[in-house]
């Protein structure tokens, strides 16, 4: 039975098909080792280099804060060492270079480490001082001697301004711009002198960390600051990068890795991230590389704030109502019938959920369950609870004595005739092997144009990649229907990191914290299955966006 469905005008259908996705992110990469030593090595492997700058950040980031400009000046990378020995991870890169620079006094990197390097034929230069301020001066002097002039210098608090320093470190590396450290109240005379030798001076951080008194004795000096480290980060990126769309993201407290990452951040700035704060600088990000140990929650929030992955299309979420099991018809549910589809299409539904199963001869059919209770209620032979019908037997079935059944080919027919229909696939009761089998058959029978309007429901994390490897579906919904409880962080992180922008729950799992997590990760929240308008409005007021329903009208 295929009645004529009331259709949209051609212009309306064309409009629906050309809406641009909101999402922006093309790619997420990760650079992470088992510890910071290995992470530093992995960062170094991202580029060519001719020298190594060794810093000890085991207990303090102080000396390392000055290293970026020197590394840029010497075409180097920053690697980590301990005070009395060089970790095996770092040793693996030493044969790549002859010139090695040690940052800090012998209290930071011992004389024995220096000697060990010289024994294997390395040319070792130590740049240190009595404290972090003198070390920053001596590093700046080395850069000035090598370059002849300084285009710019940064001035930052060496005790309380680590986040500001590491924000500036990629520019320091790229522009060979020394970072001069202050105690926040004043700048030593030798540091003032070298600062005034530069063409431009920038204080990084607000007046609570670097007072205006630091400017005393300096030539014209600009300040780059915000109300917190994230806004300072954003302002620095806006100042020194031209509309970047690729970023290296680093945990806001991981000063060592942020400094080390300066060598690969010359054209993609560092963005400091923390799951508790909006990463404003990432709003237009198209590519992100997560460096170091960053929690899934933090990465998920960064992905969500950037708009998610643009390889997916969630245009269908402009529709807030989904016709459950093709929608109710004649007061009946779960018919998965053409009558239900036609009736609900004419009511205004454009997104349908369909239950798919296999007949006894392995053909795809639209059916919810062959349990005895359902068969009896629909007036169908209960023998099919023991052995499913063949395809031909299924076609002859008449649920409730008057509705027709649908095969997968019928679903394809309707989606071909009416290109504004989206179909959510429900296989929730299937085991993993059966899910794989069903999706392989779906992909074999449907064209790419149809498949791109089909939306798999993901009920178990381990199935997501398997389904997407069978076909690169344009969107998916993670659905919690079969779960007895949920881990909000785990599920929302999984969705965000895999580009799943729809989470479907039932009322049991709705909490304000879940709504907030979905919002921060760019996830749209749907609920199934609601047939009471008062309940729907209640859940809507609590933050649910869309609803699966049998009988409500869009």
What residue ranges of the chain have pLDDT lower than 70?
1-24, 428-429
Please tell me whether residues 297 and 374 are part of one structural domain: no
Please tell me whether residues 289 and 337 are part of one structural domain: no
Please tell me whether residues 59 and 164 are part of one structural domain: yes
Residue 14: how many other CB atoms lie within 10 Å: 11
DSSP 8-state code for residue 108: T
pLDDT for the residue numbered 391 = 98
Give the domain-ending residue among 255, 278, 307.
307
pLDDT for the residue numbered 62 = 75
| Domain boundaries, position 182 | 32-307
- Residues 251-273 pLDDT 10s: 998 989 999 999 999 999 999 99
Residue 359: how many other CB atoms lie within 10 Å: 19
- Supply the Cα-derived Rg of the chain in whole angstroms: 31
**Cα(59)–Cα(80) distance, integer angstroms:** 12
**Cα(380)–Cα(335) distance, integer angstroms:** 12
- Residues 268-296 pLDDT 10s: 999 999 988 888 899 889 999 999 999 98
The closest of 329, 82, 72, 96 to 179, measured between CA atoms, is 72
pLDDT for the residue numbered 24 = 61
Q: Give the predicted TM-score (pTM) of the model.
A: 0.73
Please tell me whether residues 147 and 66 are part of one structural domain: yes
Q: Pull the structure tokens for residue 441.
A: 């058959």
Parallel, antiparallel, or unpaired for β 502-505 and 524-527? parallel
Please tell me whether residues 353 and 281 are part of one structural domain: no
Assess if residue 172 is contained within a domain.
yes
Please tell me whether residues 342 and 270 are part of one structural domain: no
Assess if residue 360 is contained within a domain.
yes
Please tell me whether residues 139 and 283 are part of one structural domain: yes
CATH code, domain with 384: 3.20.20.190
Please tell me whether residues 439 and 462 are part of one structural domain: yes
Assess if residue 433 is contained within a domain.
yes
Assess if residue 499 is contained within a domain.
yes
Assess if residue 399 is contained within a domain.
yes
Please tell me whether residues 427 and 293 are part of one structural domain: no
Give the domain-ending residue among 307, 341, 369.
307
pLDDT for the residue numbered 4 = 43
Number of domains in the chain: 2
Q: Find tokens 């989606």 and name the residue.
A: 415
Please tell me whether residues 246 and 361 are part of one structural domain: no
Residue 84: how many other CB atoms lie within 10 Å: 12
Assess if residue 231 is contained within a domain.
yes
Question: Element (H or E) spanning 433, and its range?
Answer: helix 432-445
Please tell me whether residues 257 and 357 are part of one structural domain: no
What beta strand segments (E) does 406-530 contain? Answer: 406-407, 422-426, 454-458, 477-479, 502-505, 524-527
- Residues 102-121 pLDDT 10s: 999 999 999 999 999 999 99
pLDDT for the residue numbered 14 = 32
Q: Find tokens 């381990």 and name the residue.
A: 462
């Amino acid at each position: 039975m295929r009645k004529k469905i009331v259709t949209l005008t051609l212009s309306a259908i064309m409009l629906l098909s050309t809406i641009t996705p909101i999402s922006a992110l093309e790619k997420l990469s990760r650079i992470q080792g088992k510890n910071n030593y290995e992470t530093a090595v992995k960062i170094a492997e991202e580029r060519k280099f001719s020298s190594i700058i060794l810093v000890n950040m085991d207990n303090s980031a102080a000396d390392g804060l000055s290293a970026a400009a020197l590394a840029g000046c010497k075409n180097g990378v920053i690697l980590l060492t301990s005070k009395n020995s060089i970790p095996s991870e770092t040793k693996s890169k030493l044969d790549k270079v002859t010139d090695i620079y040690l940052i800090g006094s012998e209290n930071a990197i011992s004389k024995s480490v220096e000697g060990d390097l010289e024994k294997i034929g390395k040319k070792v230069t130590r740049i240190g001082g009595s404290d972090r301020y003198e070390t920053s001066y001596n590093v700046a002097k080395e850069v000035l001697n090598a370059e002849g002039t300084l285009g710019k210098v940064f001035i930052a608090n060496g005790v309380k301004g680590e986040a500001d320093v590491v924000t500036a470190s990629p520019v320091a590396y790229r522009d060979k711009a020394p970072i001069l450290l202050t105690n926040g109240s004043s700048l030593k005379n030798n540091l003032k002198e070298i600062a005034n030798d530069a063409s431009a001076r920038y204080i990084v951080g607000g007046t609570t960390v670097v007072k205006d008194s630091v400017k005393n004795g300096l030539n014209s000096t600009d300040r780059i600051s915000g109300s917190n480290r994230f806004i300072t980060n954003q302002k620095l990126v806006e100042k020194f990068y031209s509309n970047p769309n690729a970023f290296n993201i680093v945990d806001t407290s991981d000063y060592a890795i942020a400094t080390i990452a300066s060598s690969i951040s010359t054209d993609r700035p560092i963005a400091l991230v923390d799951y508790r704060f909006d990463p404003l600088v990432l709003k237009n990000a198209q590519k992100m590389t997560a460096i170091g140990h960053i929690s899934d929650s933090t990465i998920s929030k960064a992905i969500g704030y950037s708009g998610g992955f643009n390889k997916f299309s969630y245009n269908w979420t402009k529709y807030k109502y989904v016709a459950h099991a093709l929608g109710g018809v004649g007061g009946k549910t779960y018919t998965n019938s053409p009558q239900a589809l036609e009736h609900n299409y004419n009511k205004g539904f454009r997104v349908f959920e369909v239950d798919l199963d296999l007949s006894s001869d392995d053909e795809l059919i639209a059916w919810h369950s062959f349990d005895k209770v359902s068969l009896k209620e629909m007036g169908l032979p209960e023998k099919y609870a023991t052995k499913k019908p063949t395809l031909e037997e299924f076609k002859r079935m008449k649920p409730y004595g008057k509705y027709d059944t649908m095969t997968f080919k019928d679903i394809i027919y309707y989606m071909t005739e009416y290109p504004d229909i989206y179909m959510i696939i429900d296989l929730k009761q299937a085991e993993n092997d059966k899910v794989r089998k069903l999706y392989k058959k779906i992909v074999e029978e449907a064209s790419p144009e149809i498949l791109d309007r089909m939306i798999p429901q993901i009920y178990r994390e381990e199935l997501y990649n398997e389904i997407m490897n069978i076909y690169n579906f344009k969107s998916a919904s993670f659905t919690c229907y079969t779960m007895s409880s949920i881990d909000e962080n785990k599920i929302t992180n999984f969705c965000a990191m895999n580009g799943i922008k729809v989470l479907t729950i039932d009322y049991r799992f709705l909490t304000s914290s879940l709504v907030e997590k979905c919002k921060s990760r760019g996830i749209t929240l749907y609920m199934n299955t609601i047939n009471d308008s008062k309940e729907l409005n209640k859940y809507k007021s609590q933050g649910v966006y869309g609803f699966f329903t049998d009988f409500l009208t869009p």
